[in-house]
Each structure stands twice: as structure tokens, then as C-alpha cells.
Amino acid sequence: MSLSKIDKKLLLIDGLNLIRRLHAALESEKDDKRRIERTQGACIDAIAKLVTQFKTTHIAIVFDSPEKTWRHADYPEYKLGRVPMDDSLFSSIPAFADVFRFNHWHCIRLTGWEADDIIATLAAKSAPHNVKSIIVSTDKGFTQLLDEPNIYQYDYFGKQGFDKNWVKAKYGVLPEQMTDYWALVGDTTNHIPGVKGIGPKTAASIFQGEMSLESLYHNVEQQPPRIQKQLADTFDHALWARKMVTLRQDVALGIKLSQLQICSSNS
């Protein structure tokens, strides 16, 4: 990315995460068309507040691809059991993007890619250039990125920010250990099974002494007998689960940061 020395802040919004939650909050509105319109208005208000709050210079509202992704190809049961999006809301997503673009807020959607991977790539590529990325989402999957001081996560609904200190206090592990942690405990949100019998407390205690899955399994004889038994013959599964929960940072975006700059009228 070609960057100047001007202080830059990139607001990365998990589009469907924001839209679905604001839409759910308006469940008392029984007219579908009116509910969509009100949700659009609520989204505009929320994004405008976020732009001002974080003194944003650049923005990308990122959407999931409607097509299957590489995770679905690897694991057909990926996200199995999730409550599907309301039909009227699903069909109106392109209209949401039009509304956002009308307000000069840039939208990104790439075929075959989840928003999470696109957001992770944007944040990771921007960080070395001293660009501060603020990821707006309630999805805890982004916590794996928070070892980088130029990446920050914000829950708009909880009005709470997440950083590496929050991760350590919440999960008992470092941000860079989160994918190893989920490989053991599983990711129920996305229907990814972990290692049977290993819960959050056990995983957190394990990673106080071991920094990675590789070191854990290499030194498994140092674990208590109960944990050794639970980990037996599970290394390949744990590596697969880690791959599934790890956000990709190598998506071919085909865009420059300068293309995401907010027009002065919205700064």
C-alpha cells in the first residue's frame, strides 16, 4: 500500500454483523419494508458516529460472499446450525451497500471470501505502515489479530474496545495463542469441533506453559495423565481446526488504501 506520513485510521466494519444486529433490534416493526428502511437509517447513524468517534480517515464496510468459501469446501458442515438470515433482509443487502456508497463509504465483497478474511488482510497489510485499524464487530474471531498494536477491535453495541490486555483477561491466553486455544476447545459459533474433553479452563492452563500446538504435542508427556489421554491421536485434528479458525491475511484484494479514503464531507 502506498501511504503518506499523515496519521491514518482505517475503520473496518463487519457489514452483516452490524446490519443483522440492528435489524434484530427492530423486531417490533412488523412491516418488512419499513423495518429494512429503519435498519438502513440505524446503520447510517451508527457508521457516522463511528467515523467521528475514531476520527476515521479511511473506511471499508466489508460483506461476506454469498457463494461458498474455502472453509465450506474443506468442511461442508461449516457454520451448520446457524440461524439463517431473514429472507427480506438477505435480498436487501445490495441496497444497503448502495446506501453506504451514496454516503461515500466504501464497500468490499469478494467472491469466495468471508468478510473476516478480507478484514484481517486489510488490517494486517496496513499495520506495518503505522495505519491504525479499528475493526467494528462483535465477532471474537478477530481477537487473534490483537497482538499487533495497530489493530484494535470495537463492539459498537457493547460500547467496548478489545485489545491484547482484554484478550488475556478474558481467555487467559495471548492473542497470538487464540487459534491454538480454539483448536483445542472448538469454535461452536462456526460448528468447528475441538478436542473432546478439553474445555476453556484446561486449554488456558495448558497454554500458560506451552506457546503453541506444536510445542504442546511435542512435550505432551509433561502434561497430567488425564490431559495426555485426551490429546492422544488428536494432533492432526487440532492442526485442521486451527487452520479453520485462523483468519487469512493473504487475500488478493486488488485495492490500495488510498482508494478507501473518506471524502472530506464525511470526515
Reduce the DSSP state of residue 150 to 3 states and report it.
coil
CA 163 to CA 183: how far, in whole Å? 21
Rounded alpha-carbon distances, angstroms, from residue 180 to 30, 212, 241 = 44, 6, 9
Give, for all 267 residues of the chain, the pLDDT tens digit: 444 456 899 999 999 999 999 999 999 999 999 999 999 999 999 999 999 999 999 999 999 998 899 999 999 999 998 888 989 999 999 999 999 999 999 999 999 999 999 999 999 999 999 999 999 999 999 999 999 999 999 999 999 999 999 999 999 999 999 999 999 999 999 999 999 999 999 999 999 988 999 999 999 999 999 999 999 999 999 999 999 999 999 999 999 999 999 975 443
User: At the topology level of CATH, where does 1-267 sit?
Assistant: Rossmann fold (3.40.50)
DSSP E strands in the chain: the ranges are: 9-14, 58-62, 107-108, 132-136, 151-155, 160-162
CB atoms within 10 A of CB 16: 21
Question: What's residue 174's pLDDT?
Answer: 96
> Is-contact 54 168, C-beta < 8 A?
no
Question: What's residue 132's pLDDT?
Answer: 97
Rounded alpha-carbon distances, angstroms, from residue 161 to 137, 140, 153, 182 = 10, 12, 6, 21
Q: Cell numbers for 213, please give them.
A: 500446538
Least Cα distance to 200 among 215, 210, 217, 186 occurs for: 186
Question: What's residue 134's pLDDT?
Answer: 98
Domain spans of the chain, in order of start: 1-267
Least Cα distance to 232 among 221, 247, 240 occurs for: 221
